[in-house]
Structure 1
Amino acid sequence: MWVLFLLPLVWAIPKPTITPLTPSGLRWEIPDADYELVAIHFSINQDLTGVQAGRYNVDVRTKQGSSWVYVQDGVTLHPGDTVHYWLYALSRGRPSQDLNQVWTYSGPNTQPPVTHAPVTHAPVTHAPVTNKPAHNPKTEAVTHKTPSSGHNIDSVSFNAVQKDCDDSPVCTSYPCLIFDDEFNTFDLKTWEHEITAGGGGNWEFQYYTNNRTNSYVKNGVLYLKPTLTSDQYGLNFLEHGKLELWGAGPYDTCTGNQFYGCERQGAPGRLVNPIQSAKIRSSRGFNFKYGKVEIEAKLPTGDWLWPAIWMMPTYDSYGGWPASGEIDIMESRGNLHYHDSKGQSQGVNRMGSTIHFGPDWTHDNWGRGHAEKDSKHGTFGDSFHKYGLEWDENNMKFFLDDELILTVDPGNDGFWKYGGYDKTHFTNPWAGASKMAPFDQEFFIILNVAVGGQNFFPDSFTNTGYAKPWKDADSTAFWNARNLWYPTWKPNQNNGEDAAMQINYVKVWKLKP
């Protein structure tokens, strides 16, 4: 059962009142149903099929009283003219659409307002083709097509009908959009903040908190921005303060006690985590198995930043990490001038996709499911790019801007043999399950920006300008070198948002029954 939709849903958009104006113009009025955005697409005397763009296409961004009102100037209707249109509305990250609608103007007697007769059809939800509001800072046009998979996401409907006594959508055709967050608001019913200083086993230098300094929505974009802990608590706090994250309620309680994640005591040479950042997950609001995931994001630029878009299992059905799997859609490093021993760039102009699986944490065979890709123009911090996953009962495919960069197919014998574990003494945790086990269970989405720590910034890599200032998990050495790395975050420019991961949208489709 999808648990995203926690409130009563309106699946059909209320019918609009369409009014021709004198001497010209066309007025639209749509009753509000707790919408964040309403879009109108229409043509005069010209068919519109599905989500085809109309002669007129507009996003209505603000309500007038209890309705969404829009007037299209310069339109003159004559008796017998037909308005072909379709509507799109967004409520709490959930899209609704009414397609293939028709209204015919019968002449002056229909003025003032006349409401058209409805066209009978099933309520639908699917991806909009409208642009986000004009103030959206997205910097390049993108399509939603994946030629390598055969799915044209723009040319098909994504239908869903409401299930009796259940808020879960039931798809009636495929691909079927089952989740769409355009970040016009910050939906905290879907996205839960992780609150911990544990660093995920990598002893990273940030702690994660629920704070609008570090996670916020602006102009239709979600920002996950790291800042200095000393900005919040002062310099003295790092060596002498106590960071307590235990909390007192369901949304401010520490989410990870491992690795001293809920409490840290500062001392000389052993600092409280010097960076404050954000990590959000959809585990409370949206979990799914199989489908197409597409996330458009602009990555952070700045030394030792570690942005990630990834997925973890909802239930750990096969045991602790990595026996139940991990899916990393995108990981990158914020450094502008960072190279491996072969001189290959390993900074913000390179990203990677990876899966993790194995019988225990010492036998994670991530190398059997890993690929890296360089940006074709500039860096991934210069503009928005699409990071995608197509995942079904046969394989996983990873995409960058619709280009296939990695396919993982374990074969009929599954991941046990694919990882070479059949030659070990371990017991197979996936015995009797499908070939895709452990990736045949529900997962949820995670978005975060980490900083430094062990493992992800190898000592063998070279950072041009100055050497990596710490070894292992020495946060004190990292902090003492802040005059070197902090300027690369550009904290005094653009509200420090060059160091933020910016997410334009998150969409998930179910591709087939």
Structure 2
Amino acid sequence: MFQIDDTCPALMDYITEAVNGSWVSRQKMSLQNNDKLQISMLVQFNEEIFEKSETRVILNTRLLTTKDSSSRSITFLSGEAECQAYLAPAQQVKRCKPAQTIVSNGRQTCQGELIFEDNFSEAQLNKTTWKHDIRQRMYHVEEELVAFDDAARNSFVKEGELHIVPTIASEVSDGSFMLGDRCTAVESPEQECSIAHGIFYSIKPPVFSAQIHTRNSFSFKFGKIVVRAKLPKGDWLFPYLMLQPVSTYAETHFAKQLRIAYARGNANLRTKQGDDISGNHLYGGGVVWHHGNAVQFLKDKISNAHYGDDFHNYTMIWQRDKITLMVDEEVYGELYDGLSFFNEKCFIIFGVTVGGFLNFDDSVLAKDVKPYKNREPRAALSFWQHRDSWAPTWGRQSAMIVDYVRVYAE
């Protein structure tokens, strides 16, 4: 861009190829003695961008150069109209360093670039970005004591925050449970879309909750994801803030997962060895499966308070050679093992579940601490019959609340 004596309009040219080895712009204007010529250049080369501005003054047919020391916006008058010109600092260089991040739309990204964001600022959940899982989770291998639904009581946006709320069923008596055409299960619809009447010890789901995902709208490979959230509090509640490969569905059994962060809802929970795994114990990392058995690559951090007492920033930086886990900008772990299992784009999953044989493993927990046994035919019924032991620990605090999620290129 050229501007002579601070007058408008400025002259602009777009040059796509060199002429005799030089990049040349010719303008149909003559320069006079004492004219001030302002030149701004923006050059893209090898996927990097260079920007430079300078001012030259004509003095006795010679070009003298003066440098602008700072960026500023200047308004020049021309008759009754005004125009704006931006003068960048002399020798200023702006670079786009290509990121290793791969996004679902295939575009190239710069390191540090914000590539996905949801502040939940709309009145309702953006259903173009997020899709609900609608399926029951009780009678299959993971055995979670919940049905996911899109009911407004289980997931909603309020005052710029996403709320995922587990609710206790009013009754679970014997009878059929049918989700019909609303069911989103693809791989196991016969297990997850209904509960047949008359199955031994079968009951309707004792808890309803929600799980949402971005599988159809956004996925990425390598990057930095930051979730500001308050985790749920209440016995046997378990939050899902995680990434899952796009080659799977949200309901895929034994799917690999990158768990951004989780803390169990229980206020007091210990292992057989007496180790504290209550809600003040934060975990993050990877979960893969080998012949139906979980292999976990996790890091952890113990706090003085339950992670459901307040909002925290949970960060996972996923790179080719390591995964870094952070809470409130503090690094609490780096993972180098298991990275080869995560070699494809992943989508985001947020949800709150109840139970789960991996989430609350009988082989790990202290004896008789749990009101049901995993993988027993009457597990859901036992859980429901002992509701007086866990339902009082729930309430408004049992919701997971997400303030925002942001993904940056790495």
Same fold (TM over 0.5): yes
State the match for 1:117 in structure 2: 84
- Cα RMSD of the aligned pairs, angstroms, is 3.4
SS in 2 for 1:312: strand
Deviation at 1:471, TM superposition (A): 1.3
Q: For 2:208, what is the secondary structure of its paired residue? A: strand
Contact 1:221-1:504 within 8 A present in 2 as well: yes
Give the length in aligned residue pairs: 320
How much has 1:305 moved relative to structure 2? 0.5
- In the alignment, the residues of structure 2 paired with residue 247 and residue 229 of structure 1 have an alpha-carbon distance, to the nearest angstrom, of 22
The answer as to 2:277 corresponding to 1:346 is: yes
What's 1:34 paired with?
none
> C-alpha offsets along residues 266-324 of structure 1, whole Å, 9 cap, x if unaligned?
5573211110000111101111111111111101111110112111110259xx876x7
State the partner residue of 1:503.
Answer: 402
Instruction: Say whether the 8 Å CA contact 2:75–2:82 is kept in structure 1.
Output: no
Asked whether the equivalents of residues 242 and 258 of structure 2 are also in contact (C-alpha less than 8 Å), the reply is: yes
With structure 1 as the length reference, what TM-score do the two structures score? 0.56
The CA distance in 1 between the partners of 2:83 and 2:373, in whole Å, is 70
The equivalent residue for 1:468 is 370
Task: Return the index of the structure with the highest Cα Rg.
Answer: 2
Q: Bigger relative contact order, structure 1 or 2, given CA contacts below 8 A and separation 6+?
A: 2
1:437 match: secondary structure: helix
Query: Which whole-Å deviations, capped at 9, do the CAs of 1:332-376 have from their partners, x for residues lacking one?
Result: 211111122333321211121131235x4335432xx2122112x
Post-superposition offset of 1:227:
0.4
Tell me how far apart the structure 2 counterparts of residues 259 and 295 of structure 1 sit (CA, whole Å): 34
Query: What residue number does 1:442 align with?
Result: 345
The one-letter amino acid paired with 1:188 is K
CA offsets 1:65-118 (integer angstroms, 9 cap, x no match): xxxxxxxxxxxxxxxxxxx9xxxxxxxxxxxxxxx8846598xx99xxx98736
- Cα distance change on mapping 1:390 and 1:255 into 2, 3 Å: same
Alpha-carbon separation, structure 1, partners of 2:176 and 2:97: 52
1:381 to 299, 304, 308: 308
State the Cα distance separating 1:330 from its structure 2 match.
1.5
For 1:476 and 1:355, locate their aligned partners in 2 and report how far apart those are by CA, in whole Å. Answer: 31
Structure 1 SS opposite 2:272: coil
Report the equivalent of 1:292: 224
Partners of 2:146 and 2:207 within 8 A in 1: yes
2:394 alignment counterpart: 489
* Higher strand content, 1 or 2: 2
* Contact kept in structure 1, 2:137 and 2:145, CA below 8 Å: no
Matches within 5 A, 1:67-216: 102=73, 117=84, 119=86, 170-171=108-109, 173-185=110-122, 186-199=125-138, 201-216=141-156
SS at match of 1:239: coil
TM-score by length of 2: 0.69
Over 3 Å counting, the alpha-carbon distance change for 1:279 and 1:115 in structure 2 is farther
Q: Distance in 1 between matches of 2:259 and 2:175?
A: 35
Q: How far is 1:397 from its partner?
A: 1.6
Q: Could you say if the C-alpha distance between residues 321 and 208 of structure 1 is closer, same or farther in structure 2, counting changes exceeding 3 Å?
A: closer
Change (3 A) 1:224 1:158: farther
2:288 to 312, 337, 357: 357
Matched, 1:451 2:354: yes
- Cα offset for 1:169? 5.3
Q: Determine if contact 1:246/1:254 at 8 Å carries over to the other structure.
A: no
Query: Please, which of 327, 333, 337 is the counterpart of residue 406 of structure 1?
Result: 333
One-letter amino acid matched to 1:347: S
Matching residue of 1:261: 192
SS of equivalent residue, structure 2 residue 347: strand
**Aligned partner of 1:281: which letter?**
H
Alignment of 1:4-15 (within 5 A): none
Match of 1:327 in 2: 258
Whole-Å Cα distance in 2 between the matches of residues 378 and 370 of structure 1?
Answer: 20
CA distance in 1, matches of 2:161, 2:96: 24
Q: C-alpha offsets along residues 367-419 of structure 1, whole Å, 9 cap, x if unaligned? A: xx2122112x4210111111111112212222222222222224xxxx5xxxx
* Cα distance between partner residues in 1 of 2:269 and 2:401: 22
Task: Give the unaligned 5+ runs of structure 2.
Answer: 1-69, 89-93, 99-103
Partners of 2:105 and 2:74 in 1: CA distance: 31
2:153 matches 1:221: no
- The letter of the residue matching 1:338 is L
| Structure 1: 4+ residue segments shifted above 6 A | 156-160
Task: Confirm or deny that 1:372 pairs with 2:300.
Answer: yes
Which residue of structure 2 aligns with residue 75 of structure 1?
none
Distance 1:168 1:445 in 2: 17
Amino acid at match of 2:287: H
Identity value in percent: 26
> Does 2:150 match 1:246?
no
Task: Return 5+ residue gaps in structure 1 as ranges.
Answer: 1-83, 85-99, 122-155, 161-165, 416-435, 491-495
Cα 1:244/1:405, change in 2 over 3 Å = same
Paired residues of 1:196 and 1:262 also in contact (CA < 8 A): yes
Letter in 1 for 2:227: I
